[in-house]
Chains A and B, each alone.
Chain A
Amino acid sequence: MNRAFLAELRRISGDANVLDDALELLTYECDALPHLRQTPAAVVLPACTAEVQAIVQLCATEAIPFVARGHGTGLSGGALPVAGGLVIALSRMNRVLAVDIPNQRMTVQPGVTNLEMTRQVAPFGYYYAPDPSSQQVCSIGGNVAENSGGAHCLKYGFTVHHVLAVEAVMPDGAIVHLGGTLADTPGPDLLGLIVGSEGTLAVVTSITVRLLRRPEAVQTLLAAFDTIDAGGAVVSDIIAAGIIPAAVEMMDSLAIRAAEAAVHPNFPDADTVLIVELDGPATEVSALFDIVVATCQRRGATAIDVAKTDEHRARIWRGRKAAFAAMGRVSPNYYVQDGVVPRTRLPEVLNRIRQLEARSGLRIGNVFHAGDGNLHPLICYDESVPGQSDRAVEVAAEILSYCIEAGGSLTGEHGIGADKSQYMPKMFSPADLGVMLRVRAAFDPQSLCNPGKVFPTPRLCGEVPGPYRRHPAELAGVAERM
């Protein structure tokens, strides 16, 4: 990247919004997967679509690779910079552009946080449904890139089901509008393709989402069990009864202890806890909730805690949503994994993980979206013990192979990013990947838009494979993990 390029960036976005000082670049070396790091040549913080377009056009002309970045909360290294490349940080593009309550939609810039969207429309009785655990800090632009889910996607689906339209800057600088204010854009569903493409097809600069009316009633319970199999049987019974809960979450004893230590949700000391939430019309929730309670009792629940107030419900969810970060209370280091198995294969795969735990000598906490078979094993290790870091990586890879063998997926919501691209051939054949790469080439013939992600490539120099390390900003004492 030469001086003329930097000068042009400064002309486009202003001196204050172009960073190339080594210390300033530190923040952008990695996202929330800090073991993969790369210093970019520069970071630019555009204020509007026209600036993004000018920046991308400049990159296309100069053949400079670029990586769009939201708030850097991704867990798969999707916003990992490229050596010698540019980071386009969209954090300044954080305005709500339009709220249209009668048509139940809002349009925002990519830097608006997930929770902010719900905050804006909550006074009208509406909300934005996808709720990743990082929703207080993650950006909607990042959600679009990753097709983020959350605890409630069992009933309500993922980001792709809630985005109506995007404006995006193509890798050659052209602006495209995918989807639209009105339904049913003719032709292939390019909007559905771009959601979840992990920033490799275009830079999304504005997003119109669907808003949902708050359900009339919500009921939440937490049930404790002596075995994970008993909790799993409850989930099977609920699904077999034709009930689709808003959310079904499970945590094992290690995750429960960690959450208890961190945020004191007052969870029982049990082998397994199950959280079930129903929402919808009051008569429906009330009738189905009785069935759920009876099912928990029949399957031998040792305790059932029904949320009686919103505060009570929030406390239960606090325990669940804090579970990842809480592992820091019970282990010096940990590695969050994200894999999926068909829900009915959960008991078998969890047993394999428990055997692996015994064999590897590393503790593995399990937090998962039980309704859709999305596992989040938390692999505990101590990097000061020689060999443990490497073993944690091996254990994570082995868990992913269990998921694939069971007919599942490498990732349910965190994305492939840079972290799992080398595992893609475990799930997809060369022919599958070849067709996906044809799509990539049609969007981005120069391969400038977030290269090195999703698809397997040899590791780039400077990338250090390995589990969690503290983010440079944490080490510098300016941030802490939530």
Chain B
Amino acid sequence: MTAGSSIPISPEIVSPSTPDEVAAALRAASDARRSVQIRGGGSKLDWARNSQPPEIVLNMRSLNRVLTHAHGDLTATVEAGVRLSDLNAALGAHGQCLPLDPPFADRATIGGLLATNDSGPLRHRYGTPRDLVIGVQIATTDGTLARAGGQVVKNVAGYDLSKLITGSFGSLAAIVSATFKLTPVPVASRTLVLNFRDSASQSRAAASVAASQLEPVAFEIQAQTPGGAGFMAMLRFASLPVVVDAQLDRARVLLATEATSTTVLEAAAEVEAWDRHSEHIWTAAGAIVRASWLPANLAVAIEELERISGAASVKFEIIGRAAVGAGLIRIDADVATQSQFIERLRASSAFGNVVIRRGSDELKSRIDVWGPHGDRLPLLAALKQAFDPHGILSQGRGPL
């Protein structure tokens, strides 16, 4: 059967339980020119272009073992189908964790996190999956199982294919297992929540923190307008209790003149506030795009959002990493307005890398999910050809 000749109504589900079975399944599919979608926890399946259903779903959830936790070396090797929350529960036995806090951590798998390079507020301190992965085993469509990197944090032998695979959205190869560097779980954690009267004071506060010697583990901004929750920032400190207290005190003094109110959260209230912060945008209505801005341009970026939303008279919300300049924008409007909003974001010099994360099929038929690849396009095409010559992986979904 060739792709397009007769698309089955529901895909065949293949659930390999060993690396060899993953490789064999990909090879068989490639030989038969059958389209494959690799699936982990299914939490980000709609982060793609509209496409015909795949002929095969490669369900990775049976590869769900934590292979090693070398706690003395602060590393762990895990299979792709392990859920992040399960992994961190296991690592917690030795007071360590993989410091990633993306949304849907109870469903998201390690393979899916690498494939999407998704992360959460802890990115401020620890980076994204690409910064933490030190080795990978992949299966390619010709049935090859290959490793790159290794089990040690410091290693420059050979090409780092773990980087190539992060952000590939399953379009180059299947991730079978990966090795990560870990971090000790901090003894204490507290969070300072700040509210601001406008985006200007919020941005000045962000700039003050950036220029200070404060060392938060997370530094988030949120703005919801018009008529929403207003302008807010969250600063999380995690270390020894005495250090957390000292840093919180200094942050409060530093930001006292800018903030209209400050609240300190700890224990269950703190955990709950962060969960709410990360999940809220996904539970509210509207399209969601990921976007980036220059961190020192936060005020300009939010003014731009206000200008665009004012022109289209829509509600928007932005949450993100203040010091990285990356986050999510939710656009609560009809599809035509969402589409215009996204086009204006892409045209604006205040934003870049605007990618649709959540949107209706209609929105995705109006505007491309990924945006342009610029001068990288020929290189991406050459890599796709080298890894997936028959184009069976992630067919039509992107990013390549």
For residues 41 through 68 of chain B, which have their beta carbon under 8 Å from a beta carbon of chain A? none
**Residue of A216, A244, A343 touching B183 (CB-CB under 8 A):** A244
B278, CB-defined interface residue at 8 Å: no
> Contacts A184-B353, A280-B215 hold; do A439 and B156 have CB atoms under 8 A apart?
no
Asked if B163 and A193 make an inter-chain contact with CB atoms under 8 angstroms apart, the answer reads yes
B131-167 interface code vs A (CB 8 A; 1 in, 0 out): 1000000101000111110111111111111011111
A388-427 interface code vs B (CB 8 A; 1 in, 0 out): 0000000000000000000111111111100010001001
Query: How many residues of B are counted as interface, with CB atoms below 8 angstroms from the partner's CB atoms?
Result: 85
Distance in angstroms from B250 CB to nearest chain A CB is 9
Q: B117 — which chain A residues lie within 8 A by C-beta? A: 184, 189
Closest to B400 in A: A187
Asked if A146 and B156 make an inter-chain contact with CB atoms under 8 angstroms apart, the answer reads yes
CA distance A180 to B376 in the complex (A): 12
B219, CB-defined interface residue at 8 Å: no
Asked if B163 and A176 make an inter-chain contact with CB atoms under 8 angstroms apart, the answer reads no
> Contacts A177-B376, A182-B352 hold; do A157 and B131 have CB atoms under 8 A apart?
yes
B102, CB-defined interface residue at 8 Å: no
For residues 154 through 187 of chain B, which have their beta carbon under 8 Å from a beta carbon of chain A? 154-161, 163-168, 172, 183-187
Distance in angstroms from B210 CB to nearest chain A CB is 7
Asked if B213 and A215 make an inter-chain contact with CB atoms under 8 angstroms apart, the answer reads yes
Asked if B352 and A442 make an inter-chain contact with CB atoms under 8 angstroms apart, the answer reads no
> Contacts A186-B371, A342-B75, A344-B73 hold; do A436 and B210 have CB atoms under 8 A apart?
no
Distance in angstroms from A134 CB to nearest chain B CB is 15
Stretch at the interface among A8-16, A88-96, A234-242: A234-242
Interface centre among A191, A236, A420, A428 (most CB of B within 10 A): A428
A460, CB-defined interface residue at 8 Å: no
A50, CB-defined interface residue at 8 Å: no
CA distance A422 to B119 in the complex (A): 38
Distance in angstroms from A128 CB to nearest chain B CB is 17
> Contacts A183-B326, A416-B157 hold; do A240 and B72 have CB atoms under 8 A apart?
yes
Asked if B147 and A429 make an inter-chain contact with CB atoms under 8 angstroms apart, the answer reads yes
A434, CB-defined interface residue at 8 Å: yes
Asked if A454 and B353 make an inter-chain contact with CB atoms under 8 angstroms apart, the answer reads no
> Contacts A187-B380, A190-B376 hold; do A415 and B156 have CB atoms under 8 A apart?
yes
> Contacts A186-B353, A188-B172, A287-B240 hold; do A407 and B152 have CB atoms under 8 A apart?
yes
Q: A410 — which chain B residues lie within 8 A by C-beta? A: 157
Provide a sorted-by-A list of 23 A–B residue pairs whose CB atoms are within 8 angstroms.
Answer: A104-B323, A146-B156, A147-B156, A160-B163, A174-B378, A175-B375, A182-B292, A186-B355, A187-B373, A189-B130, A189-B167, A190-B164, A192-B130, A196-B156, A283-B242, A284-B240, A373-B152, A414-B156, A424-B157, A427-B158, A431-B145, A439-B161, A442-B379
Beyond A161-B127, A427-B158, 12 additional pairs, beta carbon < 8 A: A103-B295, A103-B296, A184-B117, A187-B167, A190-B380, A239-B72, A284-B215, A342-B151, A342-B152, A373-B152, A416-B158, A431-B146
